[in-house]
Amino acid sequence: MSISDPNRVPADGPAAGQSGRSDKRQFRVQRLLPDDYRLKGIAADLLRGLTKKLPELYPKWCYDPTGSEIYEKITSQPEYYLTDCEWRILNSYSSEISDVANASTLIELGSGVSKKTVRLLEMIHQRGTLNTFIPFDVDETALVRASKKLLLEHPTLDIRLLVADFERHISSLPRSNSRTTIALLGSTIGNFYPTARLAILRSIASWMQEDDVLLIGADLIKAERRMVNAYSDSAGANESFAKHALHVINSEIGANFDTTSFTYEVAWNPIEHWVEMFLVSQQSQSVVIPTLDLHLEWPAGSRIRTEISTKFTNEFLNAELSAAGFTVTNRWFDGGSDFVLLAACLDSTMTADSGR
């Protein structure tokens, strides 16, 4: 099912994997993305990104079935500490977190239903209040695969897959009169530039109701080597993910990047407080993208920034969430204070001022 109006939540489609049993609910798929949304989005971002002084790509388009599989490999690499840190927080403070996140609806933004999401879901579900789970991602394949597994563990849970872009479609989330927890885990928020990051947080705040809770994971600034190594693993999973961006552009847009001529580099940017990842061309090449009427001369040594991962301080996180209309109510750290999981609610002063 696809819809032409990206701002309208469509009616539920037919239940996926219908078994005919009346004692089990099946997950349902709702799509906010028109059929051509991905191609148009890639094209628009390419035209915007590749013509900048420092050319850049936008990693969300890497999350097709292959890209999602590569990302899962990244999270299992020993250098990639973020997943283990957040996992330890969820396990060490499970009782406290489930008390704060206690809700009848859990909405998870952007992870493709990772094992951390499953753990959070289990924690809230054990309290007996959770009845609806809404995973929200641009990659439908990853959502469907993960939701099939979830049904085995939680056969009575109402799972509603929402295939959408949370940079644009948060306002179209289905509403409920009951308490909702929105989870943005894995330091996903750090992959966005400051303006986009603030816009996303403000969209979430505008959608939320007074008793709702936002759970957000964020990576903290630490030793430079450790931060950089997380994105330059010895197995090459991060490099494969970066180069997959070029494969996507070539196969879906018709570009002619020579993917074998690029090397992968990672650097810490102390001014912007982010780790940035690059592909560096080792030879001169002419890149043509006929569908965009774009012809680029790519000298040897040219760099494309493929992704950023912002690292935070607690003070900076408080300031950003406050600017978006939130008040931080709880924070949990892993044992080494490398990573933080925050709980936030709507700022009561701003809520009162806005009449909500």
Question: 213-219 and 180-184 as β-strands: parallel, antiparallel, unpaired?
Answer: parallel
Q: Which residue has the higher pLDDT, 68 or 321?
A: 321
Domains, the chain, ordered by start = 56-63+226-310 (no CATH), 80-220+312-354 (3.40.50.150)
Phi, psi of 41 (to 5 degrees): -65, -45
Q: Which residues of 83-114 are buried (b: 16+ CB within 10 A; e: fewer)?
A: bebbbbbbeebbeebbebbbbbbbbbbbbbbb
Question: Is 52 exposed, middle or buried (CB count within 10 Å of its CB: 0-12, 13-18, 19+)?
Answer: exposed
Res. 275: pLDDT tops 50: yes
Most confident of 3-12, 110-119, 169-178: 169-178
DSSP state of 56: B
pLDDT grade, residue 111 (50/70/90)?
A: low
Residue whose tokens read 């049904």: 151
The Cα–Cα gap between 217 and 188 comes to 8
Res. 354: pLDDT tops 80: no
Q: What is the pLDDT of residue 139?
A: 85
Q: Which residue has the higher pLDDT, 136 or 344?
A: 344
Q: What is the pLDDT of residue 109?
A: 93
The Cα–Cα gap between 11 and 30 comes to 7
Average pLDDT over residues 285-309: 94
Res. 171: pLDDT tops 60: yes
Distances (CA, A) of 280 to 2, 250, 263, 291, 305: 38, 17, 5, 24, 9
Query: Count of residues for the chain?
Result: 356
pLDDT grade, residue 118 (50/70/90)?
A: confident
pLDDT grade, residue 351 (50/70/90)?
A: low
Mean pLDDT of the chain: 88
Res. 246: pLDDT tops 50: yes
Res. 99: pLDDT tops 90: yes
Average pLDDT over residues 268-291: 96
Res. 5: pLDDT tops 60: no
Q: What is the pLDDT of residue 22?
A: 41
- Lowest model confidence (mean pLDDT) among 48-62, 64-78, 141-155, 162-176: 141-155
pTM for the model stands at 0.88
Average pLDDT over residues 140-162: 87
- Chain-centroid distance of CA 132 in Å reads 20
Q: What is the pLDDT of residue 146?
A: 84
What contacts 243, CB < 8 A, 6 or more positions away?
A: 259, 262, 264, 279
Q: What is the pLDDT of residues 65-95, one digit of tens each?
A: 899 899 989 999 999 999 999 999 999 999 9
Q: What is the pLDDT of residues 225-240, one digit of tens each?
A: 999 999 999 999 999 9
- Lowest model confidence (mean pLDDT) among 42-56, 148-162, 177-191, 238-252: 148-162
pLDDT grade, residue 150 (50/70/90)?
A: confident
Q: At residue 197, what is the residue type? A: R
- Lowest model confidence (mean pLDDT) among 23-32, 117-126, 139-148, 246-255: 23-32
